[in-house]
Structures are given as structure tokens and as C-alpha cells.
Amino acid sequence: DTGVSQDPRHKITKRGQNVTFRCDPISEHNRLYWYRQTLGQGPEFLTYFQNEAQLEKSRLLSDRFSAERPKGSFSTLEIQRTEQGDSAMYLCASSYGANTEAFFGQGTRLTVV
Amino acid sequence: KQEVTQIPAALSVPEGENLVLNCSFTDSAIYNLQWFRQDPGKGLTSLLLIQSSQREQTSGRLNASLDKSSGRSTLYIAASQPGDSATYLCAVITYNNNDMRFGAGTRLTVKP
């Protein structure tokens, strides 16, 4: 197992386009988190899944942002009608339960032009 | 809602110095607290996980302590090296929300 994998690593898109990111967690990790991070800030919570159930999401994830985790394996994060303010690093993490170590992927850097 | 604060925001020390990074949180009903390291433009690397029932964890030159009742954790780095230069982040998982919340981080520079 090579750890948490995110794809793509970089994405440049024009304002108004839709983008989708993928996260493959460590196998058998039932928890999966998504975060957004801008320069100089800590990761900002977006949502998390326990298996295939989306248990919590921030107010950012209502409207243009949506996330799925079909069958409790990989997850996708979609941003519709991208805006320049969406430019950030999108991070994914996984863990086995709430009380174990979480591991992060390398992130997807989104640039909206 | 859990609020996590890290002080200082930035720290610059000469090589070899011992240093302490601070993390505080407002809701003490936590499962655990985890310290991470982040290099510029990269993802987060896990350093130490402290369960709520534990007082400290050690890994090499790193020692993390947890005082749940006062809502504080410290990360102690012994004999700092230039390779320790990075941003250090703490995160907590609370019973109420079960999500993982981060502080803004401490940017550490260790000068040769």
C-alpha cells in the first residue's frame, strides 16, 4: 500500500468550468476527509465520510461543492462553476476510525484563471 | 464548535536549540490530538498521535504532551536541525462532531 493517493496533482481551469478531484485512501481505512488549504493557513475542513456515508460537511459544501464516496472506497470532490477564490490546495486524508492516526495525500493544487 | 489555536505563528531559531510549539483547543471532549509537519507545497506528514487518555508521546527528537483539561498540547523538538524547517500543525478530533479540526500552524525556520 503506497498511502493516500490524490489525482490530479495539479489542475488549471478557466473560471466557470467544473472540476473533479479523486482521492484513493489507504485500503481498509473507513474514514476519509477532504480539506481546502490556502497559502499560510491551516487546512479548512470540508467534509468527511465514514465508509460510504457522508457524516458531516461544512457550509462550503452546499451549493457548488459536492463530494461522494461510492461503495466506501475512493472519493471524488467536484466543484461546479469554479471561481478564482476556489484556487487552493485540496487535501484528502484517511484513517481507520476516529481514534487512529490520519494520513494525508500530497494534495491537488487548483488554479482558476 | 472546536477552535484550535497555535502559538507562535512563526519561529526562527539557530541550529541545535531546543524549542516548544504550542497548540490550544476550546473543546476538551476530544478523541485524540495529532501533530503534523508540512513542507512548502506538499501534503501533511503525521508526526505523533496522542490519545485522549495519554499524557505524552515520543518519537526520536520529538515529544508531544497533552493536557486535556486545560485544552493544551505542546510539541517539543530537541536539538533542532535545518531539516526541521517546516510548518507544524496540530489537529483534534472531538466527540461531538467527529471531524478533525486544525490550527493555522507554526512556521519553523532553523538556521544553520
Q: What is the tens place of the pLDDT at every residue in A51-79?
A: 999 988 888 776 899 999 998 899 999 99
* pLDDT > 90: percent of chain B: 90
The answer to whether B76 touches B64, Cβ cutoff 8 Å, is yes
Q: What is the pLDDT of residue B11?
A: 96
Distance between CA atoms of A48 and A77, rounded to whole angstroms? 11
Q: What is the pLDDT of residue A7?
A: 97
Q: Do A45 and B102 touch (CB under 8 A)?
A: yes
- To the nearest whole Å, the CA of A31 is away from the closest chain B CA by 10
Dihedral angle, C-alpha A39, B11, B31, A44, nearest 10 °: -10
What is the average pLDDT value for chain A, to the nearest integer? 93
User: How far does Cα B27 stand from its chain's mean position?
Assistant: 16
- The cell for B97 is 462532531
Which one-letter amino acid corresponds to residue B70? S
Average pLDDT over residues A9-29: 97
Distance between CA atoms of A28 and B42, rounded to whole angstroms? 24
Q: What is the pLDDT of residue A96?
A: 93
Q: Tell whether B17 is within 8 A of chain A (Cβ).
A: no
DSSP string, A74-94: -EEEEE-S--GGG-EEEEEEE
Q: Do B102 and A42 touch (CB under 8 A)?
A: yes
Q: Tell whether B13 is within 8 A of chain A (Cβ).
A: no
Q: Tell whether A59 is within 8 A of chain B (Cβ).
A: no
Distance between CA atoms of B42 and B40, rounded to whole angstroms? 5
Q: What is the pLDDT of residue A109?
A: 97
**pLDDT, greater one: B81 or B96:** B81
Q: What is the pLDDT of residue A107?
A: 96
- To the nearest whole Å, the CA of B42 is away from the closest chain A CA by 6
- To the nearest whole Å, the CA of A96 is away from the closest chain B CA by 13
Q: Tell whether B68 is within 8 A of chain A (Cβ).
A: no
Q: Tell whether B54 is within 8 A of chain A (Cβ).
A: no
Which one-letter amino acid corresponds to residue A22? R
Q: What is the pLDDT of residue B111?
A: 97
Strands B30-38 and B72-77: unpaired
- Least Cα distance to A100 among B98, B72, B25 occurs for B98
Q: Which of A37, A50, A51 to mutate to test the interface with B (most CBs of B within 10 A)?
A: A37
Average pLDDT over residues A14-37: 96
* pLDDT > 70: percent of chain B: 100
- To the nearest whole Å, the CA of A57 is away from the closest chain B CA by 9
Q: Tell whether A20 is within 8 A of chain B (Cβ).
A: no
Distance between CA atoms of B5 and B23, rounded to whole angstroms? 6
pLDDT digits (tens, 9 = 90+) for B46-84: 999 999 999 999 999 999 999 999 999 999 999 999 999
Q: What is the pLDDT of residue A105?
A: 96
pLDDT exceeds 90 at position A99: no
Q: Do B98 and A98 touch (CB under 8 A)?
A: yes
Distance between CA atoms of B72 and B98, rounded to whole angstroms? 19
Average pLDDT over residues B22-39: 95
State the pLDDT confidence band at A1, using cuts at 50, 70 and 90: low
Q: In this complex, which of A48, A91, A103 lies closest to B99 when CB atoms are compared?
A: A48
Q: What is the pLDDT of residue A79?
A: 96
* pLDDT > 70: percent of chain A: 98
